[in-house]
Amino acid sequence: MTQPWTIGIVGLGYVGLPLAQLFLEQGHTVYGIDTDQTKLSRLEQGTSYLADFSDQVIKELFQNGTFAVSSSYALLENVDAIILCVPTPLDTSGEPDLQYVRKALQSTLPHLQKGQLLVLESSTYPGTTEEEIAPQVKEKGWNIGQDIHVAYSPERINPGQSTYKLASIPKVVGGETPSCTKRAKGVYASVFDEVVEVSSSKVAEVSKLVENAQRLINISFMNEVAMLCDSLHVNIWEVIDACSTKPFGFTPYTPGPGVGGHCIPVDPLYLNWKANQQGMDLSLIQAAKSVNARMPRFVIEKVKAHLGVPLEQSNLLMLGVTYKKNVNDIRESPALQIFEHLLDVGANVSYHDPYVPSLTIDSSDYESRTITKEMLENQHGVLILTDHSCLPYQMILDHSALIVDTRNVLKGYENKNNVVLL
C-alpha cells in the first residue's frame, strides 16, 4: 500500500459513501461531511439509507476508528485531500443548478489548508472547476499547482449492480495544472486499479457528460423503435435479439418506460446547456430528450388498449417505482409520471416496491402494498415498470388478468397469454 491518506469527503450520498468505504478498506482515514442530520444519525446508529449498503456494512465502516462523520467542515483542516460529492440537479427551467457545489465550496474554503488537494466529483458542465472553483481558491492568495492542488474526477458509480466493483472502474482525473493531475492521481491510485490522466479538468468534465449523453441517445433510439414496432405489430425484443447475433457493429440497448435517475436524464442537458453558451445546439440530445418524454404516455396507451374496462374504472398495480432495478432511488423515475397520469384520469392506482416503503404523489401519501394472490386477482392490470430481482414474478404471472411488462423481465417464463410487451 502507498502512504496512508486522510481524506475528507463532502456529501455522503450514493457517490460519497461508497468512495469513503473504498478509502477505508485500503487503510486510509476518512472524515465524512454532510449537512443532512438524518444521514449522520443513521450512520452513527449503524443503519443504512442506501440500497447497496446493509446495516452491517455501515457498522463495519466505523470498526477501526478511522471513520468519523460530522456536519462541521472544520474537520477538513486535518485532511490531505477534500473530495466534493454533492448533487448537481437541474433547476425548474432545466438549466444547471450548482447551488450545492457552491454551498459546499463556500463552507470548505475557510478551512482549506496549503498543500491540500481539492477535487470535484459531481457531474457538471465543462468549465465548472476552472470557472467556479479555481478562482475562489486563488482569492486566498495561493498558486494552484504549488500551494494547493485542484482537480476534477467524474464519479462512475453504477448503483444496484455487482458486476463492476468500484475499485475496478478506471478513474479519470484532470487537474488545473500537471502537478494537480499528478497529486490527484497519487491519491486515487491508492484505491483504484487504474487511474486515467487527462490534460485538464475540462476534458474530464466533458468525458462524464458524453458517456451519459451517448447512453441517453441510444436508449431513446430503442424507445422510438419500440413505438414503431408497436405500430407494425412487431416484437421489439425479438428484433433486438436478432440484431444482437451480429458479432460486430451492433450494441444492444433495451427500451423501457423512460430513462430516469441522477445521471442519464440530467447530464446530457448540462452538456447541451454549455453548447448553447457556445452558440450551438446538440440536436441529438434534444431529440433524445423528446423521445424519452413520450414514453410514459406510450405505456399508458398500451395499458388502455388492453384493459377490459375504461381506465377511470380500473384497479391498477404498479410494480417498481424506482428509476432502475435493485435501488431505492426514485429521482426522475418515469414510474412517477405514469403514476400521476393514471391518477389524473381517475384510475385506482396502487404500487409495490420493496425498496420504497412509502411515496407521495400529488400531495397524497401511498404505501407499498404486499403482493398476495388475492390482491393480484383484484387488479384489472399490473404494470411492471422496474424489474427488481426480488419480485415474485411467477406468482404475478399466475394471478394477474393483464400484465404490461415494460422491461421484458418475464422473458423465459411460460404461459404468457396475459402479458403485453412494449
- 274: exposed, middle or buried (Cβ count in 10 Å: 0-12, 13-18, 19+): buried
Q: How far is CA 21 from CA 103, 139, 329, in A?
A: 24, 33, 20
Give residue for cell 421489439: 236
Answer yes or no: 390 catalytic.
no
Task: With beta carbons less than 8 A apart as the criterion, state whether 21 and 14 touch.
Answer: no
Element (DSSP H or E) covering residue 15 = none
Task: Say if CB 263 and CB 123 are below 8 A apart.
Answer: yes
Given a contact cutoff of 8 angstroms between Cβ atoms, the answer to whether 360 and 381 are in contact is no
Cα within 13 Å of Cα(299), Cβ side:
33
CA neighbor of 40 nearest in space, from 6, 65, 16? 16
| Pairing mode, strands 171-175 and 149-152 | antiparallel
Helix H or strand E segment including 316? strand 315-319
What is the C-alpha separation between 276 and 281, in angstroms, rounded?
6
Query: C-alpha cell of 217?
Result: 441517445
Secondary structure in 3-state letters for 209-278: HHHHHHHHHHHHHHHHHHHHHHHHCCCHHHHHHHHCCCCCCCCCCCCCCCCCCCCCCCHHHHHHHHHHHC
**HSE, side-chain direction, 13 A CA sphere, residue 327:** 19
Instruction: Please identify which of the residues 85, 180, 229, 263 carries the catalytic annotation.
Output: 263
Catalytically annotated residues: 263
